[in-house]
Amino acid sequence: MAVRTRAPFVAGNWKMHLKLAEAAELARKIVEAGSGLQASTVVLIPPFTALATVGGAVAGSEVRLGAQDLYWEDQGAFTGEVSGPMLEDTGCSYVLVGHSERRQLFGETDETVARKARAALKAGLSPIVCVGEVLAERDGGRTLERIDDQLARGLGGFSREDMGRVVIAYEPVWAIGTGRTASPGQAEEVHAHIRRRLGESYGNEAASCAIILYGGSVKPANSYPLFQEKDIDGFLVGGASLDADGFVGIVREALRAYREEK
């Protein structure tokens, strides 16, 4: 079996949770519990209000900071929005783009996803671009078609170099916050498909380096078998990332599966 070169990547999306003192405490606990977990990338994605606080708490550690969204203009009269350069200035290295909650509740489209992903790259951030089908699409056998659409329209026109900095998160919408996870086989089918499509568009080398995360009700108990699938490189974690032990447990399980392959 080919040995995978992509080390585990685990991001915690805190969504609209935690005031400053709680955010600082959770970040500190994760840094503490996670120290010594080298060979993995760990990213904390708090709400905008807690970015500076969490940035301070993870400073000097291996843990990286990410934001949940951005606007595509650098500055201007866009009340309520936050730009890529502002996030970069706050210490972010990553930013979520096109999370299904943004798509479903706030009218994001594949076109706005493309603009935001491009703005992130321009600001020196790595976008974590989220794709995934709703239940009706899965039940109707249209999952891969939907993913193709999201990739083509959300990332169309990106160069090979750009793609080297893009992380993709496959999150079946029916699995987010529902306690219903995709089986390892269901997830791997989509991940392998995404990697194949990246290979067609950007070449095999770019495809084999690309980081493709799974998200949707990930917890320590299901992360090991998911990570054993060869095209699943880590996780975008929502609910379980609000608990330090649970979140670090997911990183440990991914690392265990990674090391066992070696």
Catalytic center residues: 99, 171
Q: How far apart are CA 234 and CA 223, in angstroms?
A: 8
Among 34, 132, 215, 246, binds ligand PGA (CB under 6 A): 215
**Cα angle 84-203-38, degrees, rounded to a multiple of 5:** 60
* Nearest-approach distance from CB 83 to ligand PGA, in angstroms: 23
**Integer angstrom CA distances of residue 216 from 60, 100, 127, 146:** 30, 11, 19, 17
Among 232, 237, 244, 254, binds ligand PGA (CB under 6 A): 237
| Residue 212 binds to ligand PGA (criterion: CB under 6 A) | no
- Residues near 166 by beta carbon (within 8 Å), at least 6 away in sequence: 117, 121, 126, 127, 129, 155, 158, 210
* Nearest-approach distance from CB 2 to ligand PGA, in angstroms: 28
Spatial CA neighbour of 222 closest among 258, 187, 183, 190: 183
Q: Which among 64-72, 118-126, 150-158, 234-242 is the span making contact with ligand PGA, rule CB under 6 A?
A: 234-242
Q: Which among 24-32, 153-161, 192-200, 211-219 is the span making contact with ligand PGA, rule CB under 6 A?
A: 211-219
* Nearest-approach distance from CB 164 to ligand PGA, in angstroms: 23
Q: How far apart are CA 124 and CA 91, in angstroms?
A: 11
| Residue 133 binds to ligand PGA (criterion: CB under 6 A) | no
| Residue 246 binds to ligand PGA (criterion: CB under 6 A) | no
Site string for ligand PGA, 157-176 (x = CB under 6 A): --------------x----x
Q: Which among 26-34, 55-63, 190-198, 237-245 is the span making contact with ligand PGA, rule CB under 6 A?
A: 237-245
**Integer angstrom CA distances of residue 140 from 18, 133, 134, 175:** 38, 11, 10, 16
Among 8, 46, 216, 234, binds ligand PGA (CB under 6 A): 216
Footprint of ligand PGA (CB under 6 A): 13, 171, 176-177, 215-218, 236-240
